[in-house]
Amino acid sequence: MNSQEFREAAHKAVDQIIDYYETIDGRRVTPEIQPGYLAPMLPDAPPQEGEAWDVIQKDLTDKIIPGLTHWQSPNFLAFFPANATYPGMLGELYSSAFTCAAFNWICSPAVTELETVVLDWLCNLLNLPPCYLSTSPTGGGGVIQGSASEAIVIVLVAARDRYLRQCAEGVTDEREIERITAEKRSKLVALGSTQAHSSTQKAALIAGTKFATVEVDKEYKLRGEALRKKIRELKEEGLEPFFLTCTLGTTSTCAIDAFDEIATVAQENPNLWVHVDAAYAGAALILPEYKHLTTSFSHFDSFDMNMHKWLLVPFDASCLFVKSRKPLLDALSITPFFLRNQFSETGLVTDYRDWQIPLGRRFRALKIWFVMRSYGVVGMQKHLYHTMSVGEAFKGMVRGREDLFEVVAEPRFGLTVFRVRGDVGGVEVGKEERSKRANGLTKEVYEKVNAGGEVYLTSTVLGGVYAIRVVTGAPRAEERFVRRAFELLVKAVEEVAGVAVE
Ligand code: PLP
């Protein structure tokens, strides 16, 4: 493809993307295809000779788009959203145009320096304590990762290393250090609440440590006393809790752990690395009314939120902040001869390769910069307020039909978790039977609504309670769409429970 062909193809691609967005409301959210649909439609091997863009674009239209689940549709109410926006897309376009695998500062200084600048901007916007800034006396700073799961792997490995180093502190004999390290390593336990995302368990698996869960309270949040008790029990068993993930906005219900209480436990256990997973709901910290949530974060070691979930930056932009970069560098820095350069040697530059798993890295700061500048802080805040107001409207609909539904967890951040009542239709059953019936009906209603393909929802199970989650964080969210989703839910209850509802 030469420059002129690129110009023409890019214009056609942009036109198609705009048309896609302008017609997305009317599309079925989930595709009507069967597993394995694609391979029979494509040749067995790439073409020998290059093809014209028009031919390729036609196949994209006819074969790929029909197999997409439309995450950007306002009828996509599942999981957590993955916001895509035009300024973010422009950032992706330039990022691939420049394609610099900027692992060291010298590999493309602007890539590193813009990342540091936009993450410092974000750090302040989120009201994180100054210790997470790149200029902090503790040597903190932010780095963009691909996902919240990757971020947890990084900090868990850093925490493991820091813990083991501390265990062998003062010992000079190499063999003794090895012995202590090997012995302690087999006893390390990473912790998360029963509601923490599975990524902490996965990170423990990758890092070769044990994993244990801590019970949550009735509001699904981790409390200080339960954590203290768990740590005590593990220590009594001869194990060594070294890492904790606490959560701002759990996946099932958007619960917020009791950070002040956890901070007290962290102070009692100075070797415990505390990580805050705010993958989705962390975005809300840019709003004045949520800023108080960060007051105890200076007692923690790291914080991560995904701008690619709810803050208008297309996937991937997981923003990890650490109070000190030293444990990351101690754990992850390996400098073979070919990576040495005069700038790294001076120690005056940041080489982000030491803050992540891969060596090469993309220019992800660009799309964050474009989004922040195009929307401004006010625009980003408006997006959050708007999507939360759509969530509030949906919550009102659910609460307005208490004869059919009950809310399972306090709705927040645009997420409503609810189920069909076990006594719907006036059926009189005992408590246990009612709960069983509620689970069965909720599952059937959920499956029926999703099978229709007009909207897409997800479900969860909370302490044996089967529930439906509706989340409204997409940029195109509007009340009329959730009203339609609610109508479909009501209709499904009518059909599944065999009751006439008005
Ligand atoms: N943490 C929480 C609270 C989440 O809800 C999720 C995913 O939804 C994750 C972590 C994992 O996110 P990622 O896909 O960025 O790894």
What are the CA-CA distances from residue 222 to residues 129, 260, 263, 274, 438 (Å)? 22, 11, 12, 13, 27
Q: What is the 3-state secondary structure (H, E, C) of 113-147?
A: HHHHHHHHHHHHHCCCCHHHCCCCCCCCEEEEECC
What is the per-residue pLDDT across 283-319, written as a single tens digit (0 to 9) for each?
999 999 999 999 999 999 999 999 999 999 999 999 9
Residue 111 lies in a domain: yes
Distance CA 137, CA 379 (A): 32
Q: Which tokens go with 266?
A: 């962290």
Residues 53 and 108 in one domain: no
Residue 200 lies in a domain: yes
**pLDDT (average), residues 417-431:** 89
Residues 47 and 106 in one domain: no
**Bigger pLDDT: 101 or 205?**
205
Instruction: Name residues whose C-beta falls within 8 Å of residue 186's C-beta, 6 or more positions apart in sequence.
Output: none
CA-nearest residue, atom 14 of ligand 1: 147
Q: Does position 338 have pLDDT exceeding 70, yes or no?
A: yes
447-448-454 Cα angle (round to 5): 105
Atom of ligand 1 nearest to the CA of 196: 3
Q: How would DSSP label each residue in 164-202?
A: HHHHTTT---HHHHHHHHHHHHTTEEEEEETTS-THHHH
Q: Is 195 in the pocket of ligand 1 (CB under 6 A)?
A: no
Question: Of 128, 144, 127, 114, nearest to 299 (Cα)?
Answer: 128
Residue 83 lies in a domain: no
pTM of the full structure: 0.96
The answer to whether 82 touches 34, Cβ cutoff 8 Å, is: no
Number of folded domains in the chain?
A: 3
- Among 8-22, 422-436, 443-457, the minimum mean pLDDT is found in 422-436
Distance CA 454, CA 485 (A): 8
The answer to whether 384 touches 287, Cβ cutoff 8 Å, is: yes
Residues 148 and 229 in one domain: yes
**pLDDT (average), residues 362-369:** 97
The single residue listed with the structure tokens 């309670």 is 465
The answer to whether 481 touches 75, Cβ cutoff 8 Å, is: yes
Residue 41 lies in a domain: yes
Q: Is 147 in the pocket of ligand 1 (CB under 6 A)?
A: yes
d(CA 149, ligand 1 centre) in Å: 6
Probe target for ligand 1 pocket from 79, 83, 276, 277, with the most ligand atoms within 8 Å of CB: 277
Q: Is 148 in the pocket of ligand 1 (CB under 6 A)?
A: yes
Assign 436 a pLDDT band (cuts: 50, 70, 90).
very high
Q: For residue 501, what pLDDT is reported?
A: 62
d(CA 12, ligand 1 centre) in Å: 34
Report the mean per-residue pLDDT for the chain. 95
Q: Is 308 in the pocket of ligand 1 (CB under 6 A)?
A: no
Assign 225 a pLDDT band (cuts: 50, 70, 90).
very high
d(CA 461, ligand 1 centre) in Å: 17
Q: Is 279 in the pocket of ligand 1 (CB under 6 A)?
A: yes
Residue 89 lies in a domain: no
Residue 238 lies in a domain: yes
What is the rounded (10 degree) CA torsion for 192, 198, 200, 201? 90
Assign 502 a pLDDT band (cuts: 50, 70, 90).
low
Distance CA 80, CA 470 (A): 9
Residues 251 and 110 in one domain: yes
Residue 84 lies in a domain: no
Q: Does position 367 have pLDDT exceeding 80, yes or no?
A: yes
Instruction: Name residues whose C-beta falls within 8 Å of residue 35's C-beta, 6 or more positions apart in sequence.
Output: none
Residue 192 lies in a domain: yes
Assign 52 a pLDDT band (cuts: 50, 70, 90).
very high
ipTM of the complex: 0.98
Q: Which residues of 218-242 are buried (b: 16+ CB within 10 A; e: fewer)?
A: eebbbbbebbbebbeebeeeebbbb
Q: Is 80 in the pocket of ligand 1 (CB under 6 A)?
A: yes
Residues 307 and 382 in one domain: no
Q: Which tokens go with 369?
A: 């910069």
Q: Which range marks the domain in which residue 61 is found? A: 3-68
Any idea what the CATH number is for the domain that residue 388 is in? 3.90.1150.10
Q: For residue 376, what pLDDT is reported?
A: 98
Any idea what the CATH number is for the domain that residue 155 is in? 3.40.640.10
d(CA 321, ligand 1 centre) in Å: 16
**pLDDT (average), residues 331-340:** 81
